[in-house]
Structure 1
Amino acid sequence: MSEELLRLEDVRKVYGRGRGEVTALAGVSLGFRRGSFTAVMGPSGSGKSTFLHCAALLDRPTSGRVLLEGRDLTAASERALTRMRRQRIGFVFQSFNLLPALTVVDNVTLPLRLAGRRPDRRLVDDVIERTGLASRRRHRPGELSGGQQQRVAIARALVTRPVLLFGDEPTGALDTRTALEILGLLREAVDTGEQTAVVVTHDPVVAGHADRVVFLVDGRVSAELTRPTVEEVAGRMTRLGAWGELAG
């Protein structure tokens, strides 16, 4: 399907007041099609993290609108937003955010329990199998490698069958080989699971797996690439004058 799932309209985010005022997003307008994988890149301070937080309504914009399936979420109550995030949105972060006392199965099913939903055993088994965790079901995070922990985080994000999947540097703490395996899982989630993925990253290899790359500079959309290669992404970053900052 080609229609937009998520849309940001002239989103601005300003922190502080007076002399201490900082504009993190300066009027961002972007649409995201269903079943697409978008990478968001930019130098430090470009607004990437703020963009993700506003797009997911973890943080409300100062002005502008965020629409999910045509519904203006900026007008929703905090309770409604919490319910929507639990039911419609999945998150994968660099730090995994697993509970150390819980097993793999319990970490994966935690979002369902928080939402008051009884886990569908067949669905849980399928997600655990797809993410390569079948032999680790009863292990706790401390007994897993970094890559395995990120697999748990992805399984946890997918178990609610979200329409939208956000990633914040999801491969940043992983070695290259493991990062590629995790990227393959995210790509598979988009291609076969009807998810729409939006991933913030500094890594051209991650961006090379995306359908589209959006570049932010000083809180504004600076450029876009469609179906980019790793070399094209790296070249564009160099022209933005940001590569040195990202590599440093």
Structure 2
Amino acid sequence: MKYYCILCLLLVASCTTPKEDTWQTLDFGAFQLKAPPDWKIMEFEGVDSYGGGLTNNVDSLTFDYGEYDVDFETGANRRVAEDTVNGVPATIMIPVGDTPGIVSMHLRPRHDKNQFTIWGHHVQQQELILKIYKTIVFKHSDTTVNPPLTADRFIISTYITGKTLFQMNCAGCHAPLKELTGPPLATVFKSRDQQWVCQFLRNRNSILKDSLQVAYEKEYQVQCTRFPDLSCAEIRRIMDYAH
């Protein structure tokens, strides 16, 4: 009898959850996403960026699309997954335990100087929210590259924002936009892709010196410190911040 009741509850839940092929498209101008029919757009003004959100009166999501990263309790333990959402590298974070908490996603769309963060506080429908995140598309998104997000992709990690990583590892020699001991990082990153920067900082012996690297070393008379303990995802967050 006990298992029969559980089965009935699961059947009821599956019937009341809209199938994804019935989801609506919500257009926010800069991007679109899909959500069940009971979700609606929330409009409000951002301080120095484009902000807004959506809600179904159970959970609410807020987004920020602008120059600066959104900081969520730097250093707090969370379950973190590095993902690709319609061709764009993304960092997705969920609470460590089963208690409702912040479910957030940060990414930087291709061909774009702005950063995008979307999040919900005290999320009750975590699986649904993650499915909504995976539908987000920007102008240059590649919808053919959107792998499934599975539970084993998440690891418990101390998340550190790009700004804090920059201050901890780079600020002694670099600023984002002006010269210090080394060149402005935003200028360097315009000439380098993420894969090259990751190899350069983590395992420099794996790449050959080119004319630009030789010119920087000659001009500034210094070689960049190696950071083998930084992950490529953390380096990407530093690049996003410096841009």
Per the TM superposition, whether the score is higher than 0.5 is no
| Higher-Rg member (1/2) | 2
TM bin (shorter chain): under 0.3
**Greater helix share, structure number:** 1
TM-score by length of 2: 0.27
- Select the structure with the greater relative contact order (CA < 8 A; seq sep ≥ 6): 1
The TM-score normalised by the length of structure 1 is 0.26
